[in-house]
Amino acid sequence: MGHGHHHHDHEHDHEPAGDTDASVARDLSVPDGELSPGQLSRRRMFRRAGLLGAGLTAAGVLGGEGQAAVAATGRDEGRGREPRDGYQWLAGDHHIHTQHSSDGVYRVIDHVRHANAYGLGWMVITDHGGATHAKIGVEKVNPDIVAARAAVKDTLVFQGLEWNIPAAEHGTVFVAPGRNEVATLKEFESSFDGSVKGASSNTPQNEALAIAGLNFLADAVRKRRVPDALFFANHPSRKGIDSPHEIRGWRDAQPTIAVGMEGAPGHQAAGIAKPNGPGGGRGYYDSNPGADSFPGYPAESYKTFGGFDWMTATVGGLWDSLLAEGKPWWITANSDSHWVHGDTSDRGPGGDFNANGRYEDPVYKGVPNFGSGDFWPGFYSRTHAGAEDFSYRAVMDALRAGRVWVDHGGLISGLVVRARPAGTGQRGVTLGGTLQVRQGARVELAIEVTLAGRPNWAQFVPTLARVDVIQGDVTGPVSDKDAFTTPNTKVVQSYEVNRSTGTVTFTYQLGAVDRPVYVRLRGTDGKRSAPGLLGAAVDPNGPRIDVYGDADPWNDLWFYSNPIWVLPRR
Amino acid sequence: MVGGGAALAVAEHEARRGGRVVTFPGRDRLTGVLRVGELRDASAIDRVLLLASPGPPPDDVLVVTNDHVRPVWRDGLMTLLTMPAAGGRITPAEVPNPTPCCADHA
């Protein structure tokens, strides 16, 4: 059983073997792969019970080991390491560009240090796929990422890339760290990137190449070439080229790899009015239907609503049409950081991107760049993942499980949601989960919102005006794979909050559940609202279309949760 | 070869249900900032619609044209789609210089 420095010394010799197994299973510095089958089984049991990580020690359920808990350092700084509902809710960002992107500028460590300072627990470096990156950049960026992991220990730094999805938009692809992370990403990019392969046009062959890419990733995980891999569709409505059937196709082909999309794009400063900002479309959503666009998408789909993508912002829209099918498909919110609004640095002069795979390190310019539309990772957009412990594996597990909520501008600090049989005292299930109940059982949704409670990175404390509960019927698979609406989803309850500190709790009664349904949450600072695109009866106070050239991101804040399904047994 | 999407677009254009119009009577007069009513009177544009709005904008609302007005056929009418702009004005939903796709095309 020798596990290096974890081998128990004489002072613990009195421990029964079972306790030793338990303590090793709980010691998260020992990777899963080094555990005995018994220890691994023990760890999985702890994970299922939500008893691993800081939560374990803080809760004291199995205390007495004297393990150092991160939460005990008192320096959480909003990083989410304080356990809530048995999970560490780690804020993160899966969409970040560096000097290894042809339109990037910053070093990896620049992003990692900023992200860490702004409270992120995990992040993914996603330089653009392309010929130069596939040949050089994907390898050159890795030592910088490895060095950043060592330098900044309380933010997990994944390597990924921004895939030019054949026949479609961009997407984040990333893997869990390991021996083959670079080789796997490089082979993936060389074989399946739409730019590398000249496969961007909207043809069945190119759509098939996208599926083949996802199959390659699933295969790499199955063969243990990499410990894990995930894909998220980025800025899905920006150009109208992610058709509904392509999104369904990705998810259905590899549901454990293709797990979601950006609910909100990055570039959230792009709508700040001139001369203090770029004065463009929020999220750089300023495109028009083109030859490869899905013709069924309305003109509204090319715009953002309260900073969110049309697929997510429309109650009863494309996202809901997937959820109503019972398909897990999760949303995230990220920075897409290339050039930071107001930053005083500039791209390093000289060098040769195509020859070197990267630009020279940035230099100080001394002139704030108000023409840039991006924020640093963690500064404005956050994807909160409920991880079972502080590890790469646990973050990916949380993202895959949909145990995720997102916010802008630090609108709220914490969100705990449980669907449970009413009045039974049962704990129920949280975001991304499915509650199975007997036919006709009464079900309730317990909601606990920890309000902002402290200033955001624009130095004010946001006020949460309102929380909406959105509910829909699960109607099963659709015959039209290009469907992007669903008829029975709407806002069913709204709670006025109008507070910025403390904690508020609500219990929404779903009543006797006689058919499969799902619920999700949304909240806002209440500064910009309008009836939803499918009518006021569906969404009386939804996000308003963003004003082109004058969209102040700090005065229009929203949070969104992922869904919970409730399935009555027949 | 014309794919399904393109074929649909051609059919819609011919039926004046969809498709974008680049050249049309009065286009050269649509520069600077105009009121909705002026824009309609000065050109072949039949109507102006505002995205995510249940009704058309009032005739006295100012349209910032960016000297780039590209109506579309919708319901048999030459229709200019607009979106909200700064200062309570509106602007064509199609902007003259969309952000180029940021992928590495090298």
Q: What is the complex's ipTM, to 2 decimals?
A: 0.88
Check which CATH number belongs to the domain holding A311 and give it. 3.20.20
Residue A403 in any domain: the answer is no
More confident residue, A16 or A230: A230
Residues of B in contact with A269 (CB under 8 A): none
- Return the pLDDT at A61: 26
- Return the pLDDT at B2: 42
Of A359, A230, A237, nearest to A289 by C-alpha is A237
How far apart (Å, rounded) are the C-alpha atoms in residues A289 and A295?
8
A208/chain B closest Cα distance in angstroms? 16
Boundary-marking domain end, from A355, A386, A417: A386
Burial class (CB in 10 A: 0-12, 13-18, 19+), A360: middle
Q: Which of residues 382-411 of A touch B (CB under 8 A)?
A: none
- Return the pLDDT at A11: 34
Of A80, A55, A93, nearest to A399 by C-alpha is A93
Q: Which residues pair with A332 in a beta bridge?
A: A262
Q: Are strands A434-438 and A564-569 parallel, antiparallel or unpaired?
A: parallel
Backbone region of residue A7 per phi and psi (left: phi > 0; alpha: psi in -120 to 50; beta: other values): beta
Residue B102 in any domain: the answer is no
Residue B11 in any domain: the answer is no
Question: Is A338 in the B-facing interface, judged by CB distances under 8 Å?
Answer: yes
Phi, psi of A356 (to 5 degrees): -100, -15
- Return the pLDDT at A352: 96
Residue B77 in any domain: the answer is yes
Residue A210 in any domain: the answer is yes
Which distant-in-sequence residues (6+ apart) come within 8 Å of A96 by Cβ?
A111, A115, A123, A124, A125, A126, A334, A335, A336, A337, A377
- Only one residue has tokens 């990692």, namely A112
Residues of A in contact with B95 (CB under 8 A): 280-281, 286, 288, 548
Assess whether A107 and A217 both reside in one domain.
yes
Question: Is A355 in the B-facing interface, judged by CB distances under 8 Å?
Answer: no
Percent of chain B with pLDDT over 70: 78
Res. A52: pLDDT tops 80: no
Assess whether A201 and A136 both reside in one domain.
yes
**A320-363: per-residue pLDDT in tens?**
999 999 999 999 999 999 999 999 999 999 999 999 999 999 99
Which distant-in-sequence residues (6+ apart) come within 8 Å of A237 by Cβ?
A285, A297, A301, A302, A309, A310, A311
Assess whether A424 and A547 both reside in one domain.
yes
In this structure, of A79-88, A273-282, A512-521, the range with the lowest mean pLDDT score is: A79-88
Task: List Cα–Cα distances, A465 to A185, A306, A308, in angstroms.
Answer: 43, 14, 18
Residue A517, helix vs strand vs coil = strand
Q: Which of residues 98-127 of A touch B (CB under 8 A)?
A: 101-103
The kind and range of the H/E element at A361 are strand A360-364
Chain-chain contact of A129 with B99 (C-beta, under 8 angstroms)? no
Q: How far is CA A232 from the centre of its chain?
A: 8
**A360-385: per-residue pLDDT in tens?**
999 999 999 999 999 999 999 999 99
Residue A393 in any domain: the answer is no
Assess whether A373 and A344 both reside in one domain.
yes
Chain-chain contact of B54 with A547 (C-beta, under 8 angstroms)? no
- Return the pLDDT at A78: 64
Task: Choose the closest CB to B98 out of A286, A295, A300.
Answer: A286
Assess whether A173 and A254 both reside in one domain.
yes
- Which stretches of chain B are DSSP H helices? 4-14, 36-42
Res. A14: pLDDT tops 60: no
- Return the pLDDT at B15: 67
Q: Which domain holds residue A18?
A: 4-73
**Cα–Cα–Cα angle for A214, A218, A220, rounded to 5 degrees:** 115
In this structure, of A32-41, A326-335, A433-442, A495-504, the range with the lowest mean pLDDT score is: A32-41
Mean pLDDT score, A472-484: 96
Residue A78 in any domain: the answer is no
Per-residue confidence band for A74, with pLDDT thresholds at 50, 70 and 90: very low
Boundary-marking domain end, from A13, A45, A73: A73
Structure tokens at A148: 């950043």
- Return the pLDDT at A19: 42
Domains of chain B: total: 1
Residues of A in contact with B94 (CB under 8 A): 288
End-to-end alpha-carbon separation of chain B, Å?
27
Residue A374, helix vs strand vs coil = strand
Assess whether A267 and A169 both reside in one domain.
yes
Of A96, A32, A28, nearest to A68 by C-alpha is A28
Chain-chain contact of B8 with A295 (C-beta, under 8 angstroms)? yes
Residue B15 in any domain: the answer is no
Mean pLDDT of chain A: 90
Task: Choose the closest CB to A548 out of B6, B85, B104.
Answer: B85
Q: Which of residues 153-192 of A touch B (CB under 8 A)?
A: 162, 164, 170
In this structure, of A90-99, B35-44, B95-104, the range with the lowest mean pLDDT score is: B95-104
Residue A391 in any domain: the answer is no
Residue A244 in any domain: the answer is yes
Burial class (CB in 10 A: 0-12, 13-18, 19+), B17: middle
Res. A20: pLDDT tops 60: no
Assess whether A420 and A377 both reside in one domain.
no
Res. A275: pLDDT tops 60: yes
Assess whether A374 and A477 both reside in one domain.
no
Assess whether A429 and A350 both reside in one domain.
no
Boundary-marking domain end, from A318, A351, A386: A386
Per-residue confidence band for A44, with pLDDT thresholds at 50, 70 and 90: low
- Return the pLDDT at A418: 97
B8/chain A closest Cα distance in angstroms? 8
Task: Choose the closest CB to A547 out of B18, B86, B101.
Answer: B86
With beta carbons less than 8 A apart as the criterion, state whether A304 and A214 touch.
no
DSSP letters, A209-229, are HHHHHHHHHHHHHHTTSSS-E
Res. A158: pLDDT tops 90: yes
Residues of A in contact with B85 (CB under 8 A): 547-550
Per-residue confidence band for B10, with pLDDT thresholds at 50, 70 and 90: low
Task: Choose the closest CB to A299 out of B54, B81, B85.
Answer: B81
Task: List Cα–Cα distances, A395 to A170, A236, A265, A542, B75, in angstroms.
Answer: 22, 23, 21, 30, 49
- Return the pLDDT at A425: 85
- Return the pLDDT at A408: 98
Assess whether A333 and A421 both reside in one domain.
no
Chain-chain contact of B103 with A195 (C-beta, under 8 angstroms)? yes
Percent of chain B with pLDDT over 90: 69
A306-319 burial string, b = 16+ CB within 10 Å, else e? Answer: bbbbbbbbbbbbbb
Positive or negative torsion for Cα A412, A548, A546, B84: positive
- Return the pLDDT at A28: 53
- Only one residue has tokens 């449980």, namely A418
Mean pLDDT score, A469-498: 97
Task: Choose the closest CB to A545 out of B8, B83, B87.
Answer: B83
In this structure, of A458-467, B8-17, B71-80, the range with the lowest mean pLDDT score is: B8-17
Mean pLDDT score, A533-543: 98
Maximum CA extent, chain B:
47
Assess whether A427 and A490 both reside in one domain.
yes
Is the preceding omega at residue A275 within 30 degrees of 0, hence cis?
A: yes
In this structure, of A68-77, A279-288, A396-405, A435-444, the range with the lowest mean pLDDT score is: A68-77
Assess whether A503 and A554 both reside in one domain.
yes
Residue A106 in any domain: the answer is yes
Residue A396 in any domain: the answer is no
- Only one residue has tokens 């079900």, namely A443
- Return the pLDDT at A232: 99
Of A541, A503, A546, A549, nearest to A522 by C-alpha is A541
Chain-chain contact of B98 with A549 (C-beta, under 8 angstroms)? no
DSSP letters, A43-71, are HHHHHHTT--THHHHHHTTT--S-PPPGG
Domains of chain A: total: 3
Check which CATH number belongs to the domain holding A517 and give it. 2.60.40.10
Amino acid at A186: K
- Return the pLDDT at A149: 98
Q: Which domain holds residue B43?
A: 25-92
Task: Choose the closest CB to B106 out of A130, A300, A544.
Answer: A130
How far apart (Å, rounded) are the C-alpha atoms in residues A314 and A490?
10
**Cα–Cα–Cα angle for A291, A294, A299, rounded to 5 degrees:** 95
Chain-chain contact of A273 with B86 (C-beta, under 8 angstroms)? yes
